[in-house]
Structure 1
């Protein structure tokens, strides 16, 4: 904004003689507005006339100026007076921070009250009073329990003050500054809502010094197998396992929410897919075969939803046999492409050439007769046209030359050759080509758009059925412009099943292998690089089933914490299973000892939070976040993130309870959070930083899933991981004591008291001491107003206070 301020200052200096002359002439109010204020707004600060409303009527009168931004949203009310009418009780010419009810601005009180009233009627937060010489900016409405007249404002006593402090003046009145909320930042500073100074933070256990604990021997032996069957889904090439372990589902609460977002904001022709029978896709294939009209299907699902596995399983196991026999499936996996992204289309065409040849032709490579069939139109043209004489006199030479001709065409014009293969499959074999372009999401939007255009361009060659699995993020991104908007397609949303069903299916797969022929079972695993005994597999399956399948709490919590992303859910399960905290040795040995040993919630939480380390560390744990952590350079209220999650959870609950059809009802704008917490004395910078941290840690989501950095204009909602974190904070003793040990503390005494309790093994005391410290620091950095608007915040704070008085928690 530096250049714009400098340019505005130059414009002001050019107008300075005219403005000073007008102010000296003691004009009436109308002339003051015309010759002074209009010139300030339109010439110096370059407000657009369509954004400034003069004399708009209200219930109590007419506003002199109503400044608006965006879709005519009120930004500021300006009450104008004639020059000389406003005489602040001060001799200074310096810009001042003044109390609105104080003696300095007492002569301005009638104008202040009038501006406040107009602002209140129009829902405008900021107002100004001016006679062209004196300027007073202030908040016209408040949410912090203070009466507006008990607040403070920024006063420019005279025109000389404006010139001398022009940069600050611009940031209070310039349109771009208002859009960036700089005017509110200045008024927040006036009210004392600044960012606290940096502080030193001490740790009971420094999370940066976390070290790995020794894993139980049996758990080490199980690790490789566990990773094979319960994790690394994105890299796993065992198609048999993935297909057999696929969980059919038609609905889920989270899928309903995601689907509704897409329907309302992106695509109105998308519906949830029943993955068990997939009747919708079968009907589409039958329609293409009957009408001979191509169809493109967008298979939409979140990252890790199992889209690739679903497609494989659909064509190999689900699709009715009579339809399957009429289909030729060619799958182009873009995950295998690692060269220049700009060359993705030629590479995809070569992949199609290879796969279609293999599917359409009886031999590999294709025989001469098959190639002649593919190029039959070309064969007829040459044999009856330009090469007719050769055809009739020397068939052998004609065949040689034609063979050279089609080989050159195959190599130099693969795109044309692919189209001929598609046409030959349809006309010569009466087959429907089903093309799958998989894993396009790893490429930038322009590359994805090119692949999508390629898929549609092939429809002109022959009837084809194309499936493009993409994530919900890609749908949002490509729907704004490009091929996704230019071409028609039918869209289906792939729901994600519960974690219990996912893990249960894999346990059953493992047990099925164990029940089979021992030699065949061992051969199956040895081909994948494992040296195991069948009995070991049985023990592993029983142990996993006992921990995850038989324990509804554990599997349900994994689903929420992983945001129903299959890959993340399996990684969390792996983390729990392989942690030394779980003592998997004891659980497995209980199979033989007769004494039943299983995991419990406390042990599970320790395994989840600590993993394989001796303490919690966010650096090595992408699934668990420390909700009490503050930035030592700009320390805010330590419960700020917790408050934001609490509000968003209640917002989501209300939207669901009210069956609100507008998906935005579950979201809050970041700007609303800023305004809300400004009423509690929390600076905008701290609120925005807290929202960004929650977003980066995947505890909240933006309405548009492609947002990388949330801004004031974005709307956010709580994710399932955020709900899980609230559950941890409010009900898990392990979470509280672990955060108490690794959270930065700015009081040596508090740190030392927690450390003493740690050495004595008194974990009840650790939790109590830590929470009391958090409440003390939080109360010093945030003031929750005692009015109904902040009732949820009051409730959230009281919930933490209750936790400090609870006794009898299970000691660790």
Structure 2
């Protein structure tokens, strides 16, 4: 009886599983695909190679495998064998919620998001990611209102599991299985009905573009120039670094989380790594770091500068080079590679770095690696040996022939840029006593695999090229790489960069911009702009005064940005020139009275909405905590309940660094009648929006334990924003309303009076939904939160009435005078 395709596939899968159990080779991506993934897809699952497109290009991206004919039916993203997907090895269902799988799982998360993006761009329903040993498949492009990353996925944890459950693997991912739609049907089955559509889905233009007047447009442009781009002006660099740089390490006085949590950023690192020093001491730059800068590569290992996103790693490096170690680096060659602004591909990384070095040597040091004089100096020893070799006799007999052979030798020596660079640095060190110091910056804006690749290059430059190398990393990616990535095999020197005080950074930046404007040192003409910079000068004065006297603004900036300087400046820039702020009124009052203090609600409205007419959770830095995924009224409060629980539990001594095990969160929420999938979605939404932190630890059996804690952003939302009218006015458009009676009332509102009424109705609706908890003790004091929000609405009404009374009085006065 002839074997069927299924039988042949089962045999192929079994042979592969057995073979790989006895193999310890660590393969790169291409080899993993050739040795393992190709065999799973083509030998076991029966896809035909003629129906597969490799590296299919579209809009500058490339899919690893596009499978199907006619039309692509499945996209597979391949990772190298060493990129481990943190999925439980021995327990758990084969069908899991994707959001839960990705949480605290950076390698898998990056791969799934990449594959989902390919599916969405190409209109392909099914996507999968695999490292050869593990496989996750999901719906990457959906039309049922569910975001791909909020759906479910199938998981195969090992090749052995693929063999043991081959009938499932075949039914779900073979060409016949894909055609039957069994995987799509399995993953789209939902046991609960979806909630009603949001108001945003009923609006004619959502989120819309907020119109601005001429003054606001000019301020927006000027704000970008003087608050963001001014740091890039070469003529201002040293003054900027001297006057705007704030020493890191000072704890925020505005943070709404405990100081112990603020101190704990590098706890895991110091626990595993041993001695970890700060980049600064009370006297300035750390002596240990200073020694590393001038060590001339003697330690043969890179220096790692650790800091969270936006804490000022780039500014620290620039100041180190231009000011703090300027004299010591005077005779050195300083090379700086910014991976945040330069689009290097991982596969071309070494070539990219070499070409970047060569370019900087020419432009900054007038060293032409390929000039005749320089090349002959670098390879002087080789030329001397050549003259004593078999061609040496030609020097007198046939000078032209000798020169031809000599040039051929030099051409071969300079043919490979990487080896020529190494020889050039050796020559410069020996002949001119010039050491090279290399900084690899902003690699934390790339995925973990990219960061590992850059670190290996830095290690090679330190170990074999004898260069001093610095590399900037985030603590979480560093810790992850120490366990399973490139850093596991090395012991780098580590220095930490803690975040500076946000209020101090922002105030210094504003004052510096004001000084530059007053001195006319930054030419707008050079930027091709003809605007009145006095507009921004006056507006900056308003901001400096407001931050000095209205501490609510400093508290907002500090907590919403979570100590991220870059994000704090983005928030400030979004306020300057916002269409949601009456800029003309602000400037008129300032110029008439000499001062104006920005109230918190004006600032919040600008950052909540950005440049849109309506609140959009995908672009706003502030999350909607009342969103739901089902028709359960209690789910509106699932995320607030979790946030409150995390904050209360963090006060106990058993909560290490404020982190609470997920099991305790589920126990608490399920005791309130909340479903596991609702809790799961809330936790994922909380971590994605930055109001909850997550950390994950793996046991030796592969089981993953998650722990969570509330962030500064989350604490600010829970204690401040949730008690303000401006917040409910914004998020009402993004919250499904379960009440058929209330839903028509919560429609589009334009005037302030209509918005106040709508916010009041929205609070009434939420009050009614909260009653579904009955006598259960949630821990969340919703009555207090709701009461405070209503009081804020009342305060706005009273302010409007007073303003109207003043206008009436002024109108009557003018009439009497006339």
Interval containing the TM-score (normalised by the shorter chain): 0.5 to 0.7
Total equivalences in the alignment: 601
Name the CA shift for 1:442/1:345 in 2 (closer, same or farther; >3 Å): farther
Name the CA shift for 1:222/1:594 in 2 (closer, same or farther; >3 Å): same
Q: 1:200 aligns with which of 196, 201, 207?
A: 196
Which is higher, the Rg of structure 1 or of structure 2? 1
Give CA deviations for 1:393-437 in whole Å, capped at 9, x if unaligned. 677865564344223321x22222111122122211112210122
In structure 2, what is the Cα distance between the partners aligned to 1:389 and 1:603?
Answer: 86
In structure 1, what is the Cα distance between the partners aligned to 2:594 and 2:248?
Answer: 40
Give the 3-state SS of the residue equivalent to 1:593 in structure 2: helix
Report if the CA contact (8 A) 1:563-1:721 is conserved.
yes
TM-score when scaled to structure 2?
A: 0.65
Q: Partner of 1:779 in structure 2?
A: 771
2:514 equivalent to 1:511 = yes
Q: Partner of 2:106 in structure 1?
A: none
Name the CA shift for 1:311/1:665 in 2 (closer, same or farther; >3 Å): closer
2:602 equivalent to 1:603 = yes
2:212 equivalent to 1:215 = yes
In structure 1, what is the Cα distance between the partners aligned to 2:723 and 2:376?
Answer: 73
Shift of 1:579: 2.3
Report if the CA contact (8 A) 1:449-1:484 is conserved.
yes
In structure 1, what is the Cα distance between the partners aligned to 2:371 and 2:734?
Answer: 70
Q: Partner of 1:761 in structure 2?
A: 753
Give CA deviations for 1:480-500 in whole Å, capped at 9, x if unaligned. 234312122111222222332
Q: 1:342 aligns with which of 341, 347, 371?
A: 347
Name the CA shift for 1:538/1:597 in 2 (closer, same or farther; >3 Å): closer
Report if the CA contact (8 A) 1:499-1:566 is conserved.
yes
Name the CA shift for 1:569/1:240 in 2 (closer, same or farther; >3 Å): farther
Q: Partner of 2:380 in structure 1?
A: 376
2:225 equivalent to 1:228 = yes
Report if the CA contact (8 A) 1:669-1:712 is conserved.
no
Map 1:84-99 → 2, pairs under 5 A: none
Report if the CA contact (8 A) 2:642-2:669 is conserved.
no
Q: Partner of 2:637 in structure 1?
A: 639
Report if the CA contact (8 A) 2:227-2:513 is conserved.
no
In structure 2, what is the Cα distance between the partners aligned to 1:713 and 1:352?
Answer: 43
Give the 3-state SS of the residue equivalent to 2:280 in structure 1: coil
Map 1:699-710 → 2, pairs under 5 A: 699-704=691-696
Map 1:61-210 → 2, pairs under 5 A: 197-200=193-196, 203=199, 209-210=206-207
Shift of 1:533: 4.2
Name the CA shift for 1:306/1:241 in 2 (closer, same or farther; >3 Å): farther
Q: Partner of 2:389 in structure 1?
A: 385
In structure 2, what is the Cα distance between the partners aligned to 1:268 and 1:285?
Answer: 18
Q: Partner of 1:186 in structure 2?
A: none
Give CA deviations for 1:359-405 in whole Å, capped at 9, x if unaligned. 66x65466544322211321232233344434566778655643442
Map 1:567-646 → 2, pairs under 5 A: 567-594=566-593, 596-619=595-618, 621-632=619-630, 636-646=634-644
Q: Partner of 1:441 in structure 2?
A: 444
Give the 3-state SS of the residue equivalent to 1:642 in structure 2: helix
Shift of 1:206: 5.2
2:558 equivalent to 1:566 = no
Name the CA shift for 1:400/1:370 in 2 (closer, same or farther; >3 Å): farther
In structure 2, what is the Cα distance between the partners aligned to 1:510 and 1:416?
Answer: 45
In structure 2, what is the Cα distance between the partners aligned to 1:441 and 1:750?
Answer: 46
Give CA deviations for 1:146-185 in whole Å, capped at 9, x if unaligned. xxxxxxxxxxxxxxxxxxxxxxxxxxxxxx9xxxxxxxxx
Name the CA shift for 1:314/1:341 in 2 (closer, same or farther; >3 Å): same
Name the CA shift for 1:462/1:344 in 2 (closer, same or farther; >3 Å): closer
Report if the CA contact (8 A) 1:210-1:615 is conserved.
yes
- After alignment, is 603-612 or 202-211 more displaced? 202-211
Give the 3-state SS of the residue equivalent to 1:467 in structure 2: strand
Q: 2:742 aligns with which of 745, 750, 759?
A: 750
Name the CA shift for 1:461/1:391 in 2 (closer, same or farther; >3 Å): farther
In structure 1, what is the Cα distance between the partners aligned to 2:658 and 2:603?
Answer: 31
Q: Partner of 2:107 in structure 1?
A: none
In structure 2, what is the Cα distance between the partners aligned to 1:432 and 1:784?
Answer: 72
- After alignment, is 333-342 or 323-332 more displaced? 333-342
Cα RMSD (Å): 4.0
Q: Partner of 1:283 in structure 2?
A: 290
In structure 1, what is the Cα distance between the partners aligned to 2:305 and 2:340?
Answer: 17
Give CA deviations for 1:338-359 in whole Å, capped at 9, x if unaligned. 4652121122123223434666
In structure 2, what is the Cα distance between the partners aligned to 1:712 and 1:776?
Answer: 38
Shift of 1:550: 5.2
Q: Partner of 2:337 in structure 1?
A: 332
In structure 2, what is the Cα distance between the partners aligned to 1:510 and 1:311?
Answer: 21
2:686 equivalent to 1:694 = yes
Give CA deviations for 1:572-603 in whole Å, capped at 9, x if unaligned. 22222232332122222334323643321222
2:320 equivalent to 1:317 = no
Give the 3-state SS of the residue equivalent to 2:336 in structure 1: strand
Shift of 1:217: 2.3
Q: Partner of 1:453 in structure 2?
A: 456
Q: Partner of 1:800 in structure 2?
A: 785
Q: 1:407 aligns with which of 395, 404, 411?
A: 411
Give the 3-state SS of the residue equivalent to 2:693 in structure 1: strand
In structure 1, what is the Cα distance between the partners aligned to 2:200 and 2:330?
Answer: 67
In structure 2, what is the Cα distance between the partners aligned to 1:312 and 1:403?
Answer: 41
Q: 2:716 aligns with which of 724, 737, 740?
A: 724
Shift of 1:212: 3.5
Runs of 5+ unmatched residues, structure 1: 4-69, 74-175, 177-193
Name the CA shift for 1:712/1:748 in 2 (closer, same or farther; >3 Å): farther
In structure 2, what is the Cα distance between the partners aligned to 1:281 and 1:508?
Answer: 33
Q: Partner of 1:258 in structure 2?
A: 265
In structure 2, what is the Cα distance between the partners aligned to 1:453 and 1:431?
Answer: 24
Report if the CA contact (8 A) 2:452-2:487 is conserved.
yes
Name the CA shift for 1:677/1:232 in 2 (closer, same or farther; >3 Å): farther
Give CA deviations for 1:514-564 in whole Å, capped at 9, x if unaligned. 333x4xx36x33223322345345334324434446543213312211222
Report if the CA contact (8 A) 1:230-1:503 is conserved.
no
In structure 2, what is the Cα distance between the partners aligned to 1:675 and 1:604?
Answer: 39
Runs of 5+ unmatched residues, structure 2: 1-5, 7-87, 92-163, 165-189, 252-260, 801-818
Report if the CA contact (8 A) 1:772-1:804 is conserved.
no
In structure 2, what is the Cα distance between the partners aligned to 1:385 and 1:466?
Answer: 38
Q: 1:299 aligns with which of 297, 301, 305?
A: 305
Q: Partner of 1:535 in structure 2?
A: 534
In structure 1, what is the Cα distance between the partners aligned to 2:280 and 2:752?
Answer: 56
Shift of 1:641: 0.9
In structure 1, what is the Cα distance between the partners aligned to 2:613 and 2:197?
Answer: 21
In structure 1, what is the Cα distance between the partners aligned to 2:399 and 2:784?
Answer: 92
Shift of 1:240: 5.4
Q: Partner of 2:795 in structure 1?
A: 809
Q: Partner of 1:677 in structure 2?
A: 669
Give the 3-state SS of the residue equivalent to 1:588 in structure 2: helix
Report if the CA contact (8 A) 2:248-2:501 is conserved.
no
Q: Partner of 1:475 in structure 2?
A: 478
Report if the CA contact (8 A) 2:195-2:630 is conserved.
yes
In structure 2, what is the Cα distance between the partners aligned to 1:358 and 1:464?
Answer: 20
Give the 3-state SS of the residue equivalent to 1:431 in structure 2: coil
Name the CA shift for 1:331/1:72 in 2 (closer, same or farther; >3 Å): closer
Q: Partner of 1:649 in structure 2?
A: 647
In structure 1, what is the Cα distance between the partners aligned to 2:752 and 2:526?
Answer: 52
Report if the CA contact (8 A) 1:195-1:635 is conserved.
no
Give the 3-state SS of the residue equivalent to 1:645 in structure 2: helix
Report if the CA contact (8 A) 2:438-2:470 is conserved.
yes
Give CA deviations for 1:467-488 in whole Å, capped at 9, x if unaligned. 1112234313322234312122
